[in-house]
């Protein structure tokens, strides 16, 4: 199983706000930045959030990242059908599990 824990699935309806969580430990999320990736079906991952809450150029402000203690979350507001994808959290890990660990991914379905 993955070092960072994510729920395998999430869902929402268009326009809704959904949150995807990522749980870690003191050696990863607790002491390092969290990153979030979006992977649309059949495509390469795309960086969505870096350094906990920063958005790369071109990423809509509907996407927000949060971190508290050893957990992090990705919030998507104004949900759209094109947001249906897999979402992964990632962090540097200072323990033997590292150096870079990913969550198992959350498949977001837009109903």
Partner 1 sequence: EVQLLESGGGLVQPGGSLRLSCVASGFTFSNYAMSWVRQAPGKGLEWVSGLSGGGGTTYNADSVKGRFTISRDNAKNTLYLQMNSLRAEDTAVYYCAKDTDWGSGSYVGLDVWGQGTTVAVSS
Of 25, 52, 24, 16, nearest to 36 by C-alpha is 52
Compute the distance between CA of residue 102 and CA of residue 111 in angstroms, rounded to an integer.
Answer: 26
Stretch touching partner 1 by CB under 8 A, among 18-26, 48-56, 65-73, 76-84: 48-56
Could you say whether residue 87 binds partner 1 (CB under 8 A)? no
Instruction: Name the minimum Å distance from CB 14 to partner 1.
Output: 26
Could you say whether residue 30 binds partner 1 (CB under 8 A)? no
Residue with tokens 């790369």: 56
Residue 41 backbone class (left: φ over 0; alpha: ψ -120 to 50; beta: rest): beta
Residues forming contacts to partner 1 in the complex (CB under 8 A) are 2, 32-33, 35, 37, 39, 44-47, 50-51, 56, 86, 88, 90-92, 96, 99-105
């Amino acid at each position: 199983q993955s070092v960072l824990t994510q729920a395998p699935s999430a869902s929402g309806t268009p326009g809704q706000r959904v949150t995807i969580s990522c749980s870690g430990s003191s050696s990863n999320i607790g002491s390092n930045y969290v990153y979030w990736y979006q992977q649309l079906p059949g495509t390469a991952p795309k960086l969505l959030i870096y350094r906990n809450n920063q958005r790369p150029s071109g990423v809509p402000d509907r996407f927000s990242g949060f971190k508290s203690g050893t957990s992090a979350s990705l919030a998507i507001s104004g949900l759209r059908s094109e947001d249906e994808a897999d979402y992964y959290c990632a962090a540097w890990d200072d323990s033997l599990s590292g150096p870079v660990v990913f969550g198992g991914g959350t498949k977001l379905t837009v109903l």
